[in-house]
A and B are shown apart, each in its own frame.
Chain A
Amino acid sequence: MQVNENFKPLIVAFCCNWCSYAGADLAGNNRLNYPAEVKIIRVPCSCRVNPMFILRAFQRGADGVIICGCHPGDCHYTSGNYFTRRRMSLLFSMLDYLGIERERTRVEWVSAAEGAKFAATMNEFVEQVTALGENKRLEDLRCKQ
């Protein structure tokens, strides 16, 4: 695979309001760097993330999508992330089955106390997606410049 050295991936991160978004805030509070390629969308719970949002992000040119929620058992709404876990397991497995690189999707549980984990996860994910290069398999050419 040809790797474009200047390639900067576009990463959409869906973060639940109660844990992961707060974890991201904590990363900020502690001035923990992670790439600007990561853009966070706040959702009430990871279970609010519809597979359509993920596909939409890929359609519009995202190179990776990550969903962050409370640790299993800690969901603010008691069970939301359990549903997220099932939905995303099946969706990601399906995307993999269609030949779309599995490294472009990820679910990570990040608590409000895990600012460091949030930053580390984002650094790692960006690196992983950068290595893959541009998302070609799930792109909408009309949305490319």
Chain B
Amino acid sequence: MRKCALANKNALLAAMAKTAKLYVPVDGADEKSRDVNSRLAGAYYAEWKDGTQLSKKLNTTRSPKDFFFPQTENMMTFKMTGKKLEIFDTRREHEDFILFGVRACDVRSFTVLDNVFLSDPVDSYYANRRAHGIIVSMACNKPAGTCFCRTFGIDAADPEGDVICWEDDAYIYLTAKTEKGEGLLNAVADVTEDCADDAADAVKATVNERLDKLPLADLKSDAFGGGKTDTFFNDPAWNELSEACLGCGTCTFVCPTCQCYDIKDFNTGREVIRFRCWDSCMYSDFTMMAHGTNRPNHMQRFRQRFMHKLVYYPENNGGLFSCVGCGRCLSRCPISMNIVKVMKKLGGNENAE
């Protein structure tokens, strides 16, 4: 394990930034700024430049999945010259980049996405970005009231990632978990020093203690998982749960694991750009086909999203839930309906209050 005094954090980040483009969570505007809206919009990832202040917020409003699965991505272009059609492959080898300060929940979300995009047939666009990204995760010193990562077996005190970091009042501790991570740590050896492998244990203990006390600490996922389709699919509670849902895409778009996309063409007049962009199963035209839509009413669309997170995905992915308990949907849903409420309503006695 390596450590770096907090006073030298800028140097550490500078050293990282030398190896690849470095992205860090920052605030929309500094505290003194009159730009209240940018500040209230929350943190987001931005490229680190010398002196960039890192956000103190627990998490970014948009999840870091954007780096591997951006909201829109060009796939190819077509060009008509007279009556001749040409197709251009727009794929390019992605440049290396580092994501710094990724939380445990979000790191797990990459695994969730990997299962989808890297299994056969491999999504070359995603794979390209994934191969070039290095994840530097950060333990959650102050988990928020809306956090429930433990429900899904995620340890915010000991995240996954290429490099794991912990921070206390004096130091930032770093340990590499992968070859990529080792490489990065070697590259920043000049600004870090060796320390005992248990140096971060105190931090871990504090975090664990705090996780125990979270309001949602008792939320259990046991009732859900693969093979439970019949248990939940026809539950009348879906009607009630979906009643107020607006059918907007907020939960989907802030969710680190939502992975649905649509493929569309944009005609610039000179060429046609074929791109993919995020889609939401909450939208009425989601997977619209010639015969119409296969989930014609809103309850069905609402149900799909939660069934996918809690039943369908685990069924196809060895029990892994595709919710990571980051709490983004809890704080952003316009009508405050969310997966926790769904789990409590459907999840039987163990989740009853």
A and B held together in a complex:
yes
Interface residue tally for chain B (C-beta within 8 Å): 5
Closest to A61 in B: B269
Residues of A close to B266: CB separation below 8 A: 142
Interface of A is mostly: loop
Residues of B close to A142: CB separation below 8 A: 266, 268, 273
Residues of B close to A145: CB separation below 8 A: 270
> Please, how many angstroms separate the alpha-carbon atoms of A95 and B269 in the complex?
25
> Please, how many angstroms separate the alpha-carbon atoms of A140 and B266 in the complex?
11
Return the CB mask of B258-282 against A: 1 if under 8 Å, else 0.
Answer: 0000000010111001000000000
Closest to B273 in A: A142
CB-based A-B contact count at 8 angstroms: 9
Measured CB to CB, the closest approach of chain B to A39, in angstroms, equals 14
Residues of B close to A140: CB separation below 8 A: 268
Measured CB to CB, the closest approach of chain B to A7, in angstroms, equals 20
> Please, how many angstroms separate the alpha-carbon atoms of A49 and B285 in the complex?
28
Closest to A145 in B: B270
Measured CB to CB, the closest approach of chain B to A58, in angstroms, equals 14
Measured CB to CB, the closest approach of chain A to B32, in angstroms, equals 24
Residues of B close to A42: CB separation below 8 A: none
Q: Does A8 contact B (CB under 8 A)?
A: no
Q: Does A60 contact B (CB under 8 A)?
A: yes
Within 8 A of A (CB), among B218-270: 266, 268-270
> Please, how many angstroms separate the alpha-carbon atoms of A60 and B269 in the complex?
8
Closest to A141 in B: B268
Q: Does A143 contact B (CB under 8 A)?
A: yes
> Please, how many angstroms separate the alpha-carbon atoms of A145 and B270 in the complex?
8
> Please, how many angstroms separate the alpha-carbon atoms of A145 and B269 in the complex?
10
Measured CB to CB, the closest approach of chain A to B268, in angstroms, equals 5
- Scoring B266, B268, B269, B273 by chain A CB atoms within 10 A of each residue's CB, the highest score goes to B268
Closest to A60 in B: B269
Residues of A close to B270: CB separation below 8 A: 143, 145
Measured CB to CB, the closest approach of chain A to B266, in angstroms, equals 6
Measured CB to CB, the closest approach of chain B to A20, in angstroms, equals 26
- Scoring A60, A140, A142, A145 by chain B CB atoms within 10 A of each residue's CB, the highest score goes to A142
Closest to A143 in B: B268
Closest to B270 in A: A145
Closest to B74 in A: A142
Please name 7 pairs of A and B residues whose Cβ atoms are closer than 8 Å in the assembled complex, sorted by A: A60-B269, A142-B266, A142-B273, A143-B268, A143-B269, A143-B270, A145-B270
Going nearest first, the 3 A-B pairs with the smallest beta carbon separation are A143-B268, A142-B268, A142-B273
Task: List 6 additional contacts besides A60-B269, A142-B268, A142-B273; criterion CB under 8 Å.
Answer: A140-B268, A142-B266, A143-B268, A143-B269, A143-B270, A145-B270
